[in-house]
Amino acid sequence: MRSKVFSISSVFVLMLVLAGGILTPPALMAQEKGLENLKETGLAFRSVARKVSPAVVFVKVEKAIEAHGHMQNEFMPPNGAPFGDDFFRRFFGAPPQFQKPGPGPEKRQVIGQGSGFLISPDGYILTNNHVVGDADRVKVQLLDGREYQAEIVGADPGSDLAVIKIDEAGLPFLPLGDSDNLEVGDWVLAFGNPFGLSHSLTAGVVSAKGRSGIGLNDYEDFIQTDAAINPGNSGGPLVNLDGEVVGINTAIFSRSGGYMGIGFAIPVNMAKNIRDQLIEHGEVRRGQLGVYIQDMTQDLAESFGLKKAQGILVTQVMEGSPAEKAGIKRGDVILEVDGDKIDRVAVLRNRISLTNPGATVRLTILRGGDRRDVKVVIGELDPDKMSQAVDAGEVSGTGLSLRPLTTELAERYGYQGEEGVLVTDVEQGSLADRAGIRSGSLLVEIDHHPVSDVAEAKRLLIDGADRSQLLLIRQGNNTFYVVLKPE
């Protein structure tokens, strides 16, 4: 009888073990250790929230616009870009809507919301240009409920950064960290006011670094994160577990208008230089080298006699530019700036743009297989000609590299008197390649919209990345339509 009971008990215990009902001592220890680690992570998040939240501000903006005709009787949803549909089309696929006005032109007050954070005890606040850049009135609200009118100190559309200020002293503020020290996989926390929900926190990791060619700003070097960023988070801080700001929340990739796991933040090391110039001058002065450039591919490297793809290829040198005066030539490969290796177009553009005009930099180049150093006195970029300084970087997902059609390029390719943007490169096997687009083509229209500006062309291509797009192409004397069809 005892053996029978033992046998039944043994079977019962075995069933429990197989079902996970009984944990062995090592498994119990592992479970307890896992729970303790989770609790410690939660405590770390709590500590950061207590430190950061008082310095995060809720930004409310007002703008008077001229409304025409009848519109939908709906309110614009709260978000970080209230003044026009460009931001909505870029990120959410739909323009804002307002209250229904009467017939004829009429002034309407548009209200928008975003985020920002204090960077000094005397009231300086860092945020996004698209949050406050065109505002007539700006208000900020602190965690404790205090509200202030804010002054726009300066805004920079090229980087999408802005500085505003409130008249108060002794305020909590956030220390700025070092975004260069970030690594993929590091914990980061995003603070802001998503959908107008004041002072929210989300947690995630750094998914990628150095994201560029997205077409959102003129100067891009985004931190990509899966910390949830939603409309209204724009301008809020992205912080590390020490409570230091490592980025400024700026945009999301979304087909629904909400969080889809990919958010972008401007690295704080880029923002530091912009902040200083905006506070001191109210605007940003950018350096200029005066070259058109493109990323080096393996095929290009072999064509230029290189063993591997390295550096940045110079495709054109502007007449009278600092590069021409220093002896830079078409076909040169820029390897380093002041001893720092350069491997992407965006890195070089950002590095030069943030160099003070008049400063001297040392470029290490390859020419005909010979490595040499060239000293260049950086010029100042004319803001009115910024669109002509767009590099030949790829439009993400299409395989197209675009450049403004200058007079020189129009003459070279036979497009005098034409309007469009020049295709400088087509990635092999890409959507554009399969559609039959070739390097040297002129992109004339996208979905029946004439294009003559690279930034606009990039925006339209990115907007339609999830559907078929109709492109009008000019190649030599031939003009024809092609369809870019996503896989």
Q: Tokens for 99, please give them.
A: 């209250």
Q: Tell me which residue of 234, 244, 163 sits closest to 193, measured CA to CA.
A: 234
Element housing 62 (H / E)? strand 56-67
Q: Tell me the two tokens of residue 238.
A: 């992205």
Find the catalytic residue in 115, 134, 159, 160.
160
The runs of H, that is alpha helices, within 290-441 are: 298-303, 322-325, 345-353, 407-413, 431-434
Can you list the alpha helix ranges (DSSP code H) found in 321-403?
Answer: 322-325, 345-353
Tell me the C-alpha distance between 436 and 428, whole Å: 11
> 140-149 burial by CB neighbour count: b if 16+ within 10 A, else e?
bbbeeeeebe
Q: What is the end-to-end Cα distance of the chain in Å, rounded?
A: 70
Q: Which amino acid is at 362?
A: R
Phi/psi at 395 (nearest 5 deg)?
Answer: -80, 115
Of residues 130, 134, 156, 198, which has the active-site annotation? 130
How many beta carbons lie within 10 A of that of residue 281, not counting itself?
A: 11
Angle CA 209–210–214, to nearest 5: 115
Nearest to 344 by CA among 465, 212, 252: 212
254: annotated active-site residue:
no
Choose, from 234, 353, 401, 441, the residue flagged as catalytic.
Answer: 234
State CA 54 to chain mean position distance: 26
Work out the number of other CB atoms within 10 angstroms of the CB of residue 378: 22
Give the residue ranges of DSSP H helices in 19-136. 25-52, 86-91, 129-132
The Cα–Cα gap between 43 and 157 comes to: 38
Which residue, among 228, 226, 237, 231, has the nearest Cα to 266 in the 3D structure? 237
How many residues in the chain?
A: 487
- Rounded to the nearest angstrom, the gap between the alpha carbon of residue 267 and the centroid of all alpha carbons in its chain is 9
| Side chain identity, residue 163 | V
Residue 234 annotated to the active site: yes
CB contact set of 187 (below 8 Å; sequence gap of 6+): 203, 204, 205, 240, 241
Return the half-sphere exposure (C-beta side, CA atoms, 13 A cut-off) of residue 483: 6
DSSP label at residue 263: E
Is the separation of the CB atoms in 456 and 410 below 8 Å? no
d(CA 66, CA 33): 61
Residues with catalytic function: 130, 160, 234
